[in-house]
Structure 1
Amino acid sequence: MSAVSEKLPFKSKIAYGFGSVAYGIKDNGFATFLLFYYNQVVGLRADLVSLAIALALIADAFIDPAVGQLSDRTRTRIGRRHPWLYGSIIPIAVIWIILWHPPELGEWGTFGYVFIVAMGVRMAFSAYEVPALALLPELSSDYHDRTAIMRYRFLFGWGGGIFVMFLAYSIFLSPTAEYADGQLNPEGYSKYAIFGACVMVIAALSSAIGTHKRIVGGYQSASEHPKSAESFSEMLEAFRYRPFLLLMFAGVFAFTNQWLIFALSIYLFTHVWEFTQANFTAYSVMLLVAAITAFMIVTPISQRLGKARAAALLAFLTLVIGTLPYWTRIAGLFPEPGDPVMIPLLFGFLITSTATGISAMILTLSMIADVSDQYEHDTGKRTEGLFSSGMFFMQKVVNGFGILLSGLIIAAVGLPQGAASGTVDPDIVDNLALFYVVLASIIATIGAWAYTLFPLGEKDHEIRMAARAIKEK
């Protein structure tokens, strides 16, 4: 079955993108709250929390190739991907709620609980997101339309995660008589989890239904089913494909940097910039502004520069703009907490750097579709599920590494548990900022350079489409 040639209709883009709300809530929860919750609220050491999460992500990452291959080989009346989309929805919601309701256990019991349940969350999402990403090359074969489609996926993913994060800061984790610092209130995380699970079910089910007709209709009308990687050796052959490896190399650094930033953000904002509750709430709104900005700029930049060059430029801008407040703070040039200029200025840097970072990641996932097409052109095999699983495999391994780095930084600088804003030794706060900015700069620099190595561009796509048109006549 070939990909649909015409551009995807607007309503189908909305439906496809809306499904990522569930993934956005999960990713935002893992990146922003999970380390903080189990460390500061439950009371598990930061290095043990980060180790448990990292091990869970890495262990789960090995499930993704199996899901990808199985979805490639699935043959049902409703296609290859949709049985997975429908079947994973309820497990996602249930295991998400369990994650945020740990029983009272000892230190190592809690460590084991985090490891097992976090791995369960990621496995449930693998069963949804790997097939969902594999739909992209089947939804449209237009080179730039794929970027346009993927930007809806990111817009809804970020928007959904940010929306629930906004509710967490403004409602679920707001201060109470018992908890002056609402972020230390365990009941707030319970409400956050239950609400998030309900939204996940609505988003995932709506997206599966919304893309059902277009994908399933084409699948049922095909004269023959596409060939895929049937054996383990064929799977390895696909994963050794050079364009795929080069894209994964760039993605390793881009996604490691993203997770390092998000896992440390609540610590940095609390202790380096001394955010108030109102600042945290405003920050969630600023992230939404950044996601909308990325949605608007990514396609024009990609059309002008090509996907790989655009991703390299955007990754470099993310590094420069995102770290500048910390470098200038270290040099004594950035406004101090309490200065009325500090928050607006800091938010300006955060919006811009986050928008460029999101744009680079949109292009990365769009390029996966190009890798799938080129591999089909070279070998005759359709392995979108495998390549999608490889992307998620990479993300989970490096995301786990990013969280592990964050936990090690917190432990290395000696940040005390349960510390309120403005109460920590200034030397510890300075070391926290320095550790972060040095690591982020190294990782992001390598990532920006790595994107320049990706070999496929629009001309390659035109050659593939011409060859496919001749074959289908």
Structure 2
Amino acid sequence: MATYGFGSVAYGVKDAGFGTFLLLFYNQVVGLPSATVGLVIMAALLIDAVIDPAVGFFSDRTRSSWGRRHPWMYASALPIMIGWILLWNPPAGASETAVLAWLFVVAVIVRSAVSAYEVPSVALTPELTSDYDERTRIMAYRYLFGWAGGLTMLVSAYTLFLAPTAAFPNGLLNRAGYGHFALAGALLMGLAIIVSAAGTHREIRNLPRPPIIPQTLRENFRELGQTVRNRAFAVLMLASLCAYTNQGIGYALSNYLYSYVWGFKGAVFAYLTVSLFAGVVVAFLVAPRLGKRGGKPRIAMAAVLLGGTIQTLPYWLRLAGVFPEVGSRALLPVLFGCFILSTACNVSAFILGASMMADVVEDSEIRTGRRSEGVFFAGSF
């Protein structure tokens, strides 16, 4: 489980970089308008929304001596590493239009390469086990390592690559630091992908190899439509959309909130990041147990509601004038507690939701006679 889950480090590094630093880097370091940068990032995300299901569909239909998933996983490593380095090293002295074009093209490359790994990789979950509760444990490992990878890069950025210096009292504005951040992230993502793919390679002979019926392009699209019309899949995909939107907004605003709302500087950013990982560890420990005892759907819904409430509570209380003042000793410990609890709830919901998606695969197989793990997990990805 640990070797398989370790591959999620690559997605965690990508998610942390895109969500936390990419807008800030191209806006405040490179000097592009924030609204324009946000629009370009969103355009790349829309392209990714088309690529994900395509990767899932073709992964489901891949046949090779390495199975359906592993060729995609191995092949993604080098493009991810190259694209990640290019993303944080735009051409110096280029026009605004050229840099925006660079951002769009390279962001699409990185997102596509990550999809080429993550979609087939996560689609392995229902193939590795048919046990209802073991799938939750497997997903717990994926989320543990995914968050560990992302938060490791965040802590490294705040304390090493983008730490304050005499030349840059605000280390987040140090352009050279982002180059080192990119190189370290690329190496970590490449390592995670190869270790995970190689670690699960021996399972290839045990994985399902459903037959493929030759079809026309129109028939392929019809089959894809039949697959995604599964009601349980639609519910989970909508829930995933809302959950990941919440997470993305939180990531994108985190540096601004830490700096301009709570008045923190330097190493405190790293402490807050560590508190997030504490919440992930809590989720890793409790989510499988809660799902087994209380039922995945009910526990996931309760976790989402509770997590959202705790996550926004500091801002409501500050507006009401009853939250610790900026600069007070009580502020940091109270925020730590809120971050740990909200992260534990939100990540528990993610784990249970991903586990339920694995269950939907088998429900669809009963209804349609086809195994479409790639398509389903692409929809939730």
The question of a shared fold, defined as TM-score above 0.5 by the shorter chain, is answered with yes
User: In the alignment, what sits opposite 2:284?
Assistant: 295
Q: 2:59 pairs with 71, 76, 79, which one?
A: 71
Alpha-carbon distance in structure 2 between the residues aligned to 1:229 and 1:264: 48
Paired AA for residue 329 in structure 1: R
Amino acid at match of 2:44: A
Instruction: Report the equivalent of 2:18.
Output: 30
Aligned residues: 376
Among 141, 160, 163, the alignment partner of 1:171 is 160
Q: Deviations over 1:421-447 (max 9, x none)?
A: xxxxxxxxxxxxxxxxxxxxxxxxxxx
| Contact persistence 1:228–1:382 (CA under 8 A) | no
Report the equivalent of 2:309: 320
Map of 1:12-161 to 2, 5 A cutoff? 13-103=1-91, 104-161=93-150
Name the CA distance, whole Å, in 2 between partners of 1:191 and 1:229: 48
- TM-score (norm: length of structure 2): 0.96
Q: How does 1:325-336 map to 2 (within 5 A)?
A: 325-336=314-325
**Percent pairwise identity:** 49
CA displacement at 1:54 relative to structure 2? 0.7
Determine if the alignment matches structure 1 residue 369 to structure 2 residue 351: no
CA distance in 2: counterparts of 1:336 and 1:106, whole angstroms:
44
Determine if contact 1:228/1:381 at 8 Å carries over to the other structure. Answer: no
Per the TM alignment, residue 389 of structure 1 is displaced from its structure 2 partner at its CA by 1.5
The whole-number CA distance in structure 2 between the counterparts of 1:248 and 1:28 is 22
CA shift, 1:70, in A, is 1.0
- For the pair 1:348 / 2:337, whether they are aligned, the reply is yes
Query: What CA distance in whole angstroms lies between the structure 2 residues aligned with 1:119 and 1:21?
Result: 20
Check the 8 A contact 1:368/1:387 in 2, yes or no: yes
Deviation at 1:287, TM superposition (A): 1.6
Alpha-carbon distance between aligned partners in 1 of 2:308 and 2:236, rounded to the nearest angstrom: 19
Deviations 1:193-222 (A, max 9, x none): 0011011111110000111101x1214xx7
Kept in 1, the 8 Å contact 2:227–2:368? The answer is no
Matches within 5 A, 1:228-243: 231-243=220-232
- The separation in 1 between residues aligned to 2:274 and 2:8, in whole angstroms, is 19
Distance 1:229 1:144 in 2: 35
Separation in 1, partners of 2:277, 2:290 = 20
Is 1:338 paired with 2:324?
no
Q: Partner of 2:360: helix, strand, or coil?
A: helix
What is the Cα deviation at residue 110 of structure 1? 2.1
After superposition, the C-alpha distances for 1:258-279 in whole angstroms (9 at most, x for unaligned) are: 1111111111111000112121
Residue in 1 that maps onto 2:266: 277
Asked if structure 2 preserves the Cα contact closer than 8 Å seen for 1:162 and 1:288, the reply is yes
State yes or no: 1:286 paired with 2:275: yes
Look up the match of 2:202. Answer: 213
Q: Over the residues paired in the alignment, what is the CA RMSD in angstroms?
A: 1.3
Query: Deviation of residue 114 (structure 1)?
Result: 1.3
Amino acid at match of 2:39: L
Shift of the 86–228 alpha-carbon distance from structure 1 to 2, 3 Å rule, reads: farther
Q: Which amino acid counterpart does residue 82 of structure 2 have in structure 1? A: V
CA offsets per residue over residues 154-173 of structure 1, 9 Å max, x none?
A: 00000011111111100101
| CA contact 1:73–1:228 (8 Å) conserved in 2 | no
Distance 2:281 2:157 in 1: 21
Kindly state the Cα deviation for residue 304 of structure 1 after the two structures are TM-superposed.
2.1
One-letter identity of the residue aligned with 1:90: L
CA distance in 2, matches of 1:330, 1:338: 16
Output the amino acid matched with 1:368.
Answer: M
Structure 1: tracts of 5 or more residues without a match: 1-12, 393-473
- 1:67 Cα deviation after fit: 1.0
Give the letter for the 1:179 counterpart: F
> Structure 1 residue 358 and structure 2 residue 347: aligned?
yes
Distance 2:69 2:211 in 1: 13
Match of 1:176, SS state, is coil
